[in-house]
Amino acid sequence: MTSIPRPSRRLLVGGAVGALALAATALLPMTNAAAATGCAVTYTTSSWQGGFTATVAIKNLGDPVTNWTLGFSFPDSGQRVSQGWSATYQQSGSAVTARSLDYNGALATGASTTIGFNGSWTTANPNPTSFTLNGTTCTGQTTPTSAPPTTAPPPPSSPPPSTPPPTTPPPTTPPPTGTTPVAINGQLRVCGVNLCNQYGRPIQLRGMSTHGLQWFAQCYNDASLDALAKDWQADLLRIAMYVQEKGYETDPSGFTNRVNTLVDQAEARGMYALIDFHTLTPGDPTYNLDRAKTFFNAVSARNAAKKNVIYEITNEPNGVGWSTIKNYAEQVIPVIRANDPDAVVIVGTRGWSSLGVSDGSNSDEIVNNPVRADNIMYTFHFYAASHKDNYRNELSRAASRLPLFVTEFGTVTYTGDGAVDTASSTAWLDLLDRLKISYANWTYSDAGEGSAAFKPGTCYGGTYAGTSVLTESGTFMRNRIRTPDNFPTA
């Protein structure tokens, strides 16, 4: 996020053990189908007790199509689609239809697209044996037979090899002993494209980001954090520690201590703490490489035993290519791993963490050249009044291939100011909810800008709970975050 005074942000303008593969390729003449005269489907699953992830690769072998519908049926009536991506899913009984989205509906002859979903099952986990594309049957699938599944889901098709699925905790993982987000979910990890809890189940964290600690320290006290945890019912506190702009570089020891104190305060309230190494200007993360190694060595050593810590190693890289960001990440992550081998690490992306969209690129560069590390996610940022359908489309496309975390977003323009765009903000949060992508809103502060949650002067008073002290953005976000989490524990 931008600073005070704010330099130009420019843009963001913008069942089976292991994996079971079902592959079918058929070139079929079409008689009654409205489009597509042949199709091929590769259906890959990976299962755990009571659930599974399915990845479906669709290849059009016939005439070009502008929109498509994939149909199939589960052999087991107890199977249900619980959460899908890259398509709109409907299920009636055992029959499932998946309809294309705006960005992936056009399939030229020979073109492919990949969709996926998480599902649940009761007594068995067989795979579909017949698929149709716009009414044309894709034949030739074979059904594998194997032992019951016991492992957690691996990444879907074309996953970054840097994020292999960790082993699911054994079924004897005890039930949670508390009701806070950390008590329920415990140590988090990346499984496939999801953030998963101690039970190996995909979850979504929802919370708020601080503003710069050098400017708004008065906003982060016991009363305000009680309000965030209890009144807002937030899962997450993002701790935005600026490196430049009168931040960490001016007092490394002092800012490290402030971050650690906020980690402890979040832990005491059962919230996750996202430690943000907030780089913005300059945009090349390697400018702060030595500082990053020093800082992350200190905080990871100190907080290694905690279950509530997530590390965000660079905020918004800009003016550099993906290879530079990747190189930086592959030097910083080992520093953290030496102290804390289990924590989730989040890597910023090109173009102010827009997956490259703001630079005219897209997520393909990450998929094709992922960071060589495990248990990592990639950052996506947006500001709802500035970044709309093309950004949402790219996020939807990337979400089936990369584990994503929206570590910062605003309800206003990319400047951090202006009026709340309720319609776009709602569209964004509905999408994140559907994809189970975690998020932190900018900003839990009383800054004199439209993105601030509190009215100016609030942080010099003693009242933080309720709506009387909130801005329009704060009221909107509190209402969204307060809805039930319903974290799965089995």
Domains of the chain and any CATH numbers: 19-138 (2.60.40.290), 181-481 (3.20.20.80)
Specify the pLDDT at position 123: 64
- Assign 477 to helix, strand or coil: helix
Is the pLDDT at 82 greater than 90? The verdict is no
Q: How confident is the model at residue 386 (pLDDT cuts 50, 70, 90)?
A: very high
Q: Which residue has the higher pLDDT, 461 or 115?
A: 461
Strand partners, 357: none
Name the pTM for this structure: 0.69
Q: What is the pLDDT of residues 183-235, one digit of tens each?
A: 999 999 999 999 999 999 999 999 999 999 999 999 999 999 999 999 999 99
Q: Mean pLDDT, to the nearest integer, of 89-101?
A: 91
Is the pLDDT at 387 greater than 90? The verdict is yes
Q: How confident is the model at residue 27 (pLDDT cuts 50, 70, 90)?
A: very low
Q: How confident is the model at residue 155 (pLDDT cuts 50, 70, 90)?
A: very low
Specify the pLDDT at position 38: 81
Average pLDDT over the chain, rounded to an integer: 85
- What amino acid positions are annotated as catalytic residues? 316, 408
| CA quadruple 237, 173, 192, 188: dihedral, nearest 10 | 20
Specify the pLDDT at position 9: 39
φ, ψ dihedrals at 322, nearest 5°: -60, -35
Specify the pLDDT at position 110: 83
Is the pLDDT at 164 greater than 80? The verdict is no
* CA–CA–CA angle 121, 125, 127 (5° rounding): 120
| Residue spans of beta strands (DSSP E) within 192-333 | 194-196, 202-203, 206-209, 236-242, 272-278, 309-312
Alpha carbons 144 and 151: distance in angstroms, whole number: 17
CA distances (Å), origin 447, targets 212, 325, 384, 407? 10, 30, 19, 19
For 219, the token pair is 């906003």
Q: What is the pLDDT of residues 431-464, one digit of tens each?
A: 999 999 999 999 999 999 999 999 999 999 989 9
Alpha carbons 66 and 253: distance in angstroms, whole number: 58
Is the pLDDT at 121 greater than 60? The verdict is yes
For 65, the token pair is 């199509």
Please state whether the peptide bond connecting residue 443 to the residue before it is cis, i.e. omega within 30 degrees of 0: yes
CA distances (Å), origin 357, targets 159, 300, 323, 362, 381? 20, 31, 16, 5, 11
Residue type at 122?
A: T
Specify the pLDDT at position 251: 97
Please state whether the peptide bond connecting residue 5 to the residue before it is cis, i.e. omega within 30 degrees of 0: yes
Specify the pLDDT at position 149: 39
Specify the pLDDT at position 87: 80
Alpha carbons 256 and 182: distance in angstroms, whole number: 23
Q: Mean pLDDT, to the nearest integer, of 367-378?
A: 96
